[in-house]
Chains A and B, each alone.
Chain A
């Protein structure tokens, strides 16, 4: 059981990594337009999404 002293923080660190990823995506506005990308991925040779984020 004492292994939990180590395992729980490790799990939490992993969780924080995902949270950091989410914060990165949200602060770049990736969740603002949830409709267009779904269509855009269906388009042939669409303009490369070189920059999906601004500001």
Chain B
């Protein structure tokens, strides 16, 4: 019966038993349901939340959601019931709450539309102790404020009941520092915008030929407006350039600072001498454009990152610890080695440890990629990040936090991700080349000018230094990257950073996971026949006692058509791993077991008293857009492979369906094997499940996760698609390629501009007016060219 490989999510669903098949929409969450009967809700959870909203007089949630909702509601009550008493623990509050102990930040899972804002912010109206709640939709973080008598646990329980599982967020020093820096950056940007706008107005008058006292007045006024830009707005450039120089490294900020300083000195000298060569307008405009681009880049990078960074989602942040014979909720940080903790079915192990009492089965997919349940008993080792599937166990803690196996894997992944950032190295290379080029050309300018006297020599050297503008590199590349990341996000794909776009654009080989990536990842009943209706009833009754993938598929298909009360009773039930299940139903002895199957299809036979009386065929369906997406990827010149842990038959069938040669489909590949293969190819792209293929995703030069939780996926993969199907993957690859094309176009323009500008400056013909036009014009051209993109870029996402 062990036909399909199941993902972590699937197993969770199994435990909480919330999934249903499709056709009608659930009144609460809007997910589709099938079957003739079953009421208005897809599950008991949705029904409960609906009743709760009604009791609180909050039905307008539904109309609000309709008008502004961006997606389907989460599946709220599927969450295991949690107790939040640890939120009121003074020790916990010291770390997580505001200094006065009445405010806290909670990350709320599943907030996504105006109705969520409305509903959560209504909290003070029905939880008496709550003074105020403000939700930030872009990060999902709510700021909770309590009245004098309020309790965090009460508020958290109510939020959980409404379907938003709360996680306390620790506001540490670095976060406060980040907020301060971002605000300071914005103010710098505002100051430079105001100054450069006004200087430009004055400059127009100057170029138009104002003379006499007014001319002198306007020039000194320009200086006055330029000073805040130089002394305040441009500070970050000076700081990073200085730091880079001290460490004897090149940075793109070095040539920028060089240009600003030379421009300022030249303008000051000319201002005092009364010459017309002053560049305050161009300099402040460049500072403004650079700051604006960096601000944009920061924002898009962060919006993808912040949510992922907020919590250590992979292992739960609390545990139930035995204290004096009682189970007490406490944060995982406070658990000591040697403590005894309890883990219920449907929960994730928060620590590494040894089972001290009880026996259960685990889903260890996160660590091993193996997603069929593993049985453990007393004395067995359990690891953080694995899921308890069947019964409660007590675990003696061996290690926690960063010292667990999961913690080690995460640390290694994060290290790997920060180590490789080619775009940074690239900017530095360009920066270094620029410093050299500017110095050499200025010297050349000086000697060329020397034949006309010292004055002319200095003027030409300065003109070269000013006109050579690195801003096309410093501005256009990050801008193109941030636009691409923003566009991807609007199409439901979260990209971790600029280097991900670069690597995607260069990818030559694509490896695709099969189960859950090319296929839906869930078994479905495709065909069935039974001799008598009672046989079908008996089958469903038997399967309802099992959590095996086949049992779940059968339940999804048939449970809705049966009234729960009418289900026959099962006696002598037994589940024999690798064989099937059996039991006595209504006087007859039934066996349900695998009877072979081919080409990815699983067949199950129903035997009554030893005679075959029914058959059920199940298979894992292909994603409907798999073929189209794969053809698109191949049309872009990518070499496609299938990597699967599944057996040869189903993998072969999928390969044939997709038109792939059989040798490009690798079956029975372990997670380590996948990772080896992916690593052996340069410029590889791995597409898979964020949880089960985490290792392979992290080993590839870039990975896209199409399944699994966002937080988990973004640890291992560079990008995460939140929409179903494979078309977003194709869209992202196209987008990345076109973005690199735009960047190359900008570079060509930058080279062209610099060649013309330098030649002009060297020949001595560069007037202040020409410089004032050329400098911002070059920046503006690359800016506009980047904004416009290419036609294919605009159409990257279907």
Do A and B pair up? The answer is yes
Contact with B along A12-55 (1 / 0, CB 8 A): 10011011001100110101111110011011101100110011
Q: Are B194 and A44 in contact (CB under 8 A)?
A: no
Q: In the complex, how many angstroms separate the beta carbon of A45 from the nearest chain B beta carbon?
A: 10
* Residues of B with C-beta under 8 A to A54: 143
A23 contacts across to B, CB distance below 8 A: 187, 190-191
Tell me whether B118 and A46 are in contact (CB under 8 A). yes
A12 / chain B contacts, CB cutoff of 8 Å: 198, 221, 225
Contact A35 B137 (CB under 8 A): yes
Contact of A27 among B135, B187, B197 (CB under 8 A): B187
Check A39–B183 contact: CB distance below 8 A.
no
Interface residues on A, range: 20 to 34
- The CA of A1 and the CA of B215, in the complex, are separated in Å by 12
Q: Quick check: is B536 within 8 A (CB to CB) of the other chain?
A: no
CA distance A31 to B113 in the complex (A): 19
Q: Given A4-B214, A19-B191, A46-B121, A26 and B183 touching (CB < 8 A)?
A: yes
Pick from B17-25, B60-68, B73-81 the stretch touching chain A: B60-68
Smallest beta-carbon distance A9→chain B, Å: 8
CB-based contact B114/A42 at 8 Å: yes
In the complex, the answer to whether B68 meets A39 with C-beta atoms within 8 Å is yes
Q: Are A15 and B118 in contact (CB under 8 A)?
A: no
Over the window 137-150 of chain B, the binary record of Cβ atoms lying under 8 Å from chain A Cβ atoms (1 yes, 0 no) is 11100010000000
Residues of A contacting B405 in the complex (Cβ-Cβ under 8 angstroms): none
Q: How far is the CA of A3 from the CA of B67 in the complex (A)?
A: 55
CB distance from A49 to the nearest CB of B (A): 8
Q: Are the C-beta atoms of B64 and A15 separated by less than 8 Å?
A: no
Nearest to A47 among chain B residues (CB) is: B121
Instruction: Give A26's nearest chain B residue, CB to CB.
Output: B186
Min CB distance B701 to A, Å, is: 33
A39 touches B190 (CB 8 A): no
A47 contacts B122, C-beta separation under 8 Å: yes
- Cα distance A19–B198 when bound, in Å? 12
Contacts of A47 in B (CB 8 A): 121-122, 124, 132
A-contacting residues, B173-193, CB 8 Å? 179, 182-183, 186-187, 190-191
B-chain residues with CB within 8 Å of residue A19 when the two chains form the complex: 190-191, 194
For residue B573, which residues in chain A have a CB less than 8 angstroms away from its CB?
Answer: none
B92: min CB distance to chain A, Å:
22
The complex places the Cα of A39 from the Cα of B119 at a distance, in Å, of 12
Residues of B within 8 A of A16 (CB): 194
B219 CB → nearest A CB, Å: 12
Q: Is B417 an interface residue (CB 8 A)?
A: no
A44 near B183 with CB under 8 A, answer no
- Cβ-defined contact, A42 with B68, below 8 A: yes
Q: Which secondary structure characterizes the binding site on chain B?
A: helix
| In the complex, residue of chain B having the shortest beta-carbon distance to the beta carbon of A29 | B183
Given A4-B214, A18-B194: A32 touches B182 (CB 8 Å cut-off): yes
Contact of B136 among A8, A33, A55 (CB under 8 A): A33
Interface: B579 (CB within 8 A): no
Answer whether residue B327 sits at the interface, using C-beta atoms and an 8 A cutoff. no
Decide: A15 and B198 in contact? CB cutoff 8 A: yes
Interface residues in B186-208 by Cβ distance below 8 A to A read: 186-187, 190-191, 194, 197-198, 202
Chain A residues positioned under 8 Å from B121 (CB to CB): 40, 46-47
Is B454 part of the contact surface with A, judged by Cβ < 8 Å?
no
B426 within 8 A of A: no
| Interface flags, B293-318, vs A, CB<8A=1, else 0 | 00000000000000000000000000
Q: Which of B122, B132, B138, B202 contacts A33 (CB 8 A)?
A: B138
Contact (Cβ within 8 A) B183 A36: no
Q: Which residues of B contact A11 (CB under 8 A)?
A: 198
B113:A39 contact, CB within 8 angstroms:
yes
Residue B528 at the A interface, CB < 8 A?
no
A28 to B191, CA, bound (A): 16
A1 and B183 within 8 A (CB): no
Asked whether A35 lies within 8 Å of B138 as measured between CB atoms, the reply is yes
Chain A residue nearest to B133 in the complex (CB): A47
Known contacts: A1-B214, A47-B124. The answer to whether A39 contacts B114 by CB under 8 A is: yes
* Residue from the set A11, A39, A40 with the largest chain B CB neighbour count within 10 Å: A39
CA distance A33 to B124 in the complex (A): 22
Residue of B nearest to A51 (CB): B132
User: Which residues of chain B come closer than 8 Å to A40, judged between CB atoms?
Assistant: 114, 117, 121
User: Which residue of the partner chain A has the closest CB to B295?
Assistant: A31
* Pairwise interchain contact B217-A5, C-beta atoms closer than 8 A: yes
Q: B135, B182, B198: which contacts A36 (Cβ < 8 A)? A: B135
Tell whether, in the assembled complex, residue A44 and residue B190 are in contact, meaning their CB atoms are under 8 Å apart.
no
Give the CA-CA distance A42 to B135 in the complex, in Å.
Answer: 15
Cα distance, A30 to B138, chains bound together (Å): 14
- B291 → chain A closest CB, angstroms: 13
Query: B118 — which chain A residues lie within 8 A by C-beta?
Result: 43, 46
Residues on A facing B (Cβ under 8 Å): 1-2, 4-5, 8, 11-12, 15-16, 18-19, 22-23, 26-27, 29, 31-36, 39-40, 42-44, 46-47, 50-51, 54-55
Q: List the 7 shortest-distance A-B pairs measured between CB atoms, nearest first.
A: A39-B114, A36-B137, A35-B138, A26-B186, A33-B136, A22-B190, A43-B118
- Further contacts, 19 of them, CB under 8 A, given A12-B225, A23-B191: A12-B221, A15-B194, A15-B198, A16-B194, A18-B194, A19-B191, A26-B186, A26-B190, A33-B136, A33-B139, A35-B137, A35-B138, A39-B113, A40-B121, A42-B67, A42-B68, A46-B121, A47-B121, A55-B179
Write 26 A-B pairs (CB below 8 A) sorted by A numbering. Answer: A4-B214, A8-B202, A12-B198, A12-B221, A15-B194, A15-B197, A18-B194, A22-B187, A26-B183, A26-B186, A27-B187, A29-B179, A32-B182, A34-B138, A35-B136, A36-B117, A40-B121, A42-B64, A42-B68, A43-B64, A43-B117, A43-B118, A44-B60, A46-B121, A47-B121, A47-B132
